[in-house]
Amino acid sequence: MQLSMTKSAAILATLASQSALVAANGCFTGGYTWGQVADADTIATARETFCNNSAGIFAADQTKTACADNFDSGNSINWSVHVNGVGTTLLSSDCDAALTIDFNACEHGSEQDHGSFHYKADPNP
């Protein structure tokens, strides 16, 4: 019994040391924060650019990605959006709304499903 508890403690310690853990399809629990990348208005502009460039028709299981790296901090944001299953159309406004929710809820970025799409927003050094 004690060996199992020791193994569990070791596994938890290893997981805790990872810088960008994801709480099952949710907020990252570590790593860089949005504030370490840029202020909220600058990030909003980058988010809108990503969403405008990603909007349109998605084929089944298609993913669109971008890295925004023109911030004064020298840090970056990795964005991605993936259609879950069959192809459909992504509206820029839907993308922006989903990523705004994630930005406001998750200070270290996130990986979330919103409707037919899976979004990832990850602030990085």
Query: All domains of the chain, ordered by start, with CATH?
Result: 22-124 (3.30.430)
> Cα(93)–Cα(100) distance, rounded to whole angstroms?
10
Residues of the chain with pLDDT under 50: 1-24
Tokens (6 digits) for 41: 């208005």
63 vs 60: CA distance, rounded Å: 9
The confidence score (pLDDT) of residue 21 equals 38
**What is the reported pLDDT for 25?**
59
Q: What is the pLDDT of residue 92?
A: 98
Q: Identify the residue whose tokens are 């193994």.
A: 7
H or E segment and range at residue 123: strand 117-124
Model-level pTM?
0.78
Look at residue 72 in the predicted model and tell me its pLDDT: 94
